[in-house]
Amino acid sequence: MTVQKLPTPDKPLRVGTRQSPLAMAQARMAATAICDAHTLPLECVQIVPMLASGDKIQDRPLAEIGGKALWTKELERALLQDEIDIAVHSMKDVETIRPDSFVICAMLPRADIRDRLIGAETIASLPKAATVGTSSPRRAAQLLHIRPDLKIVSIRGNVATRLSKIESGEVDATLLAAAGLDRLSMADVGAAISIGEMLPAASQGAIGLDCLTRREDIRTLAEKAGDKATFEAVLAERRFLAALGGDCHSAVAAHAFVEDSALWLRGEILRSDGGEKQAGKCLADNMDDIDALAEKLLAAASETLRAQFSK
């Protein structure tokens, strides 16, 4: 039997992350989870921050400049060049289809999956024709489905940057993930929107640990720090995305949840202008059922909505 070599202060586990405040907070959570799982001092993990392309380019929506890969490619390069051992990602920022050389080996327990509205108490209470800033096709379409009168403008940047746009009057409101705000000790910011009103993005609230597929030692180390229920739910949501064949322009929402001891998936697709929504639910313990739900929604969709997907 091979004895697993654990990291030490002299040879720490190198954890790569984007250098934004939220990403750094998530990396510290991952480091703590790994150390707690193996009863190690925090000195056994070294956090390695780096600037992602998505952080460098702030003036255009992600869909126009390369999509989700802009959040992950620098970390993937660092894994391949043995500069880090593990990369920490917000799972909703991870591409659905990835090279076989990488594997999400674990996920931390999921946080609050809801969105929070900043600038008003409810979507209904927003002023008529209010300007809402978001670069998310999902959030934009869901808002317009509820309130067709709203004006949606694209804004990007970290949490502080987005909040400053409300303070300056550039936008009337914005939406941010509750999980991110909580991790930044900003639990009192914004009003939570129920998932019945706005279904979240697939994988929202989940933090993933990424490593090279060939590094079985790292994979085993990380798995002990992971949460199985989160892993299974997020995999189901990502399967739904893959079955749809959407891209960064597609408005998709998904949420896997346990009900009566079974894993279920609720999913929806929307036209970008919010004028059409197709939604459904299925058992998620069988990947074929998830594929069937995606096919059902696409079959019911108009030609305009189906055109947002490759399937």
Kindly report, residue by residue over 32-56, the tens digit of the pLDDT.
Answer: 999 999 999 999 999 999 976 555 5
Q: Is it the case that residue 289 has pLDDT exceeding 90?
A: yes
Kindly report, residue by residue over 72-131, the tens digit of the pLDDT.
Answer: 888 999 999 999 999 999 999 899 889 999 999 999 999 999 999 999 999 999 999 999
Rounded CA-CA distance 112/230 in Å is 12
pLDDT at 269: 98
pLDDT at 65: 47
**Close Cβ partners of 121 (under 8 Å, ≥ 6 residues apart):** 191
Kindly report, residue by residue over 149-195, the tens digit of the pLDDT.
Answer: 999 999 878 888 899 999 999 999 999 999 999 999 999 999 999 99
| List 85, 93, 115, 210, catalytic entry | 93
Q: Please name the amino acid found at residue 84.
A: I
Domains of the chain by range and CATH?
A: 13-108+206-226 (3.40.190.10), 115-192 (3.40.190.10), 238-297 (3.30.160.40)
Mean pLDDT on 225-235: 96
Query: In the annotation, is 93 catalytic?
Result: yes
Confidence of residue 137 (pLDDT cuts 50, 70, 90): very high
Nearest to residue 59, comparing CAs of 156, 161, 176?
156
Nearest to residue 112, comparing CAs of 255, 259, 208?
255
- Angle, CA 273 vertex, CA 270 and CA 274 arms, to 5°: 45
Model's pTM, two decimal places?
Answer: 0.90
Kindly report, residue by residue over 178-191, the tens digit of the pLDDT.
Answer: 999 999 999 999 99
